[in-house]
Amino acid sequence: MKEIKRIILSGGGTGGHIYPALALYRALKASYPDVECLYIGTERGLESTIVPRQGIPFQAIEISGIKRSLTLENLKVAWQMLTATRNAKKLIREFEPDLVLGTGGYVCGPVLLAASQLKIPTIIHEQNSVAGITNKFLARSVDRIATCFEEVKDDFGKFSDKVVLTGNPRGQEVLQTEASGSILSEQFDLDDQLATVLIFGGSRGAPAINQAGLEGLTHWQEQDYQIILATGQSHYDDLDKKLLERYNTSSNIRIVPYIENMPAVFQSIDLVMCRSGATTLTELTALGLPSILIPSPYVTNNHQEQNAMALVQRGAAEMIRESELNANLLIEKIEALIHDPASLERMRQQAQQMGITDASQRLIQMMEELIN
């Protein structure tokens, strides 16, 4: 069997597109220590800083997203697409990869299209339960479409025969994160034995979630469980210092700006309240972690609500729309679950059943099949 020697990865804009690619790269490196990788992204995306820090060679091309309304800007995007595809072909010819894999974002358009035109095996990886516009555009050209939700298959229409449910490589990495029974006491000065709820709105925080969480703190201060509220750095900096001192000196509440080692912390949490981005849900299902999901209403095609519904319909999570969110509802939901171990256990089991914990191996096997 032919070994994988050289691969190009592409994906950008948000961490949800970048981190699965990096997780796959690390798994691929474990199977093929000598594999060489080139990552193609854009200078404006997070990938331009995140990827080089991982020691992976990085090249940038210029591409913008298509506007959903009729606009002259789309003429510029069309011209960019032609130029970017030509530039991507040059990079691909120089690198001579065995395969090109894209994990989403506008940059994947020209990169995967160029690879397909050069007759190089191609895979796109769709993390969400609603297919992104770039992946739908590429469905005709690529060889395989890897997915994380069964529901998304229909989005690819007549190309659905290319779809393979693989899961997200990020989930496998989370499971490999070492658990610590004392992380709550060591990192937050909390009780390692008490039930603990984690509330956060993503790495940058979410104002609506922060507001509801902050308004509930007075109530939670009197309860027999613990609350950790991660606000995001900029929102944390804006908080009143007296408020921070008041709650952070209590025995069961901690307000923090950001949690760097979230996968490790997750393993000591009983209930999470958070957004429903694809990477977060991958981590929750891999660990079997019960959740109350607050989908972001500010994303394309409302895909976070669709992601959340995939868990809700299986009994793995509950959902609150941001338009309905307030402190009283949040308190009510948390109280009902944290004092009902049987419900939490059912949610845990359902989440675990949804988790795919060998996604990297499935993707690597798919890659091997395509190049042989």
Question: pLDDT of 67-76, one tens digit each?
Answer: 555 555 656 6
Q: Is the dihedral of CA 262, 288, 209, 224 positive or negative?
A: negative
3-state helix, strand, coil in the chain (%, to 5): 50, 15, 35
Same domain membership, residue 110 and residue 52:
yes
Alpha carbon distance 342, 78 (integer Å): 54
Burial 105-144 (b: 16+ CB within 10 A, else e): bbbbbbbbbbbbeeebbbbbbbbbbbbbebbbbbbebbbb
Q: Is 31 annotated as a binding residue?
A: no
Same domain membership, residue 180 and residue 56:
no
Same domain membership, residue 163 and residue 78:
yes
Same domain membership, residue 364 and residue 326:
no
Could you tell me the residue range of the domain that residue 199 belongs to?
A: 175-354
| pTM of the full structure | 0.88
Q: Is 127 annotated as a binding residue?
A: no
Q: What is the pLDDT of residue 97?
A: 98
Same domain membership, residue 238 and residue 110:
no
Alpha carbon distance 224, 268 (integer Å): 16
Same domain membership, residue 192 and residue 55:
no
CATH number of the domain where residue 348 is located:
3.40.50.2000
Mean pLDDT calculated for residue range 128-150: 95
Confidence of residue 58 (pLDDT cuts 50, 70, 90): very high
225 falls within a domain: yes
Q: What is the pLDDT of residue 203?
A: 77
Question: pLDDT of 274-301, one tens digit each?
Answer: 999 999 999 999 999 999 999 999 988 8
Q: Is 128 annotated as a binding residue?
A: yes
Q: Is 300 annotated as a binding residue?
A: no
With a cut of 60, say whether residue 325 has pLDDT above it. yes
Same domain membership, residue 226 and residue 136:
no
Query: Which residues are paired to 225 by β-bridges?
Result: none
86 falls within a domain: yes
115 falls within a domain: yes
1 falls within a domain: no
Q: Is 15 annotated as a binding residue?
A: yes
Report the number of distinct structural domains present in the chain. Answer: 2
pLDDT, greater one: 127 or 203: 127
Q: What is the pLDDT of residue 74?
A: 57
Same domain membership, residue 62 and residue 17:
yes
Strand residues in 34-77 grouped as ranges (E) = 36-41, 58-60
With a cut of 70, say whether residue 242 has pLDDT above it. yes
Q: Is 304 annotated as a binding residue?
A: yes
342 falls within a domain: yes
Question: Among residues of the chain, what percentage have pLDDT more than 90?
Answer: 86
Same domain membership, residue 367 and residue 345:
no
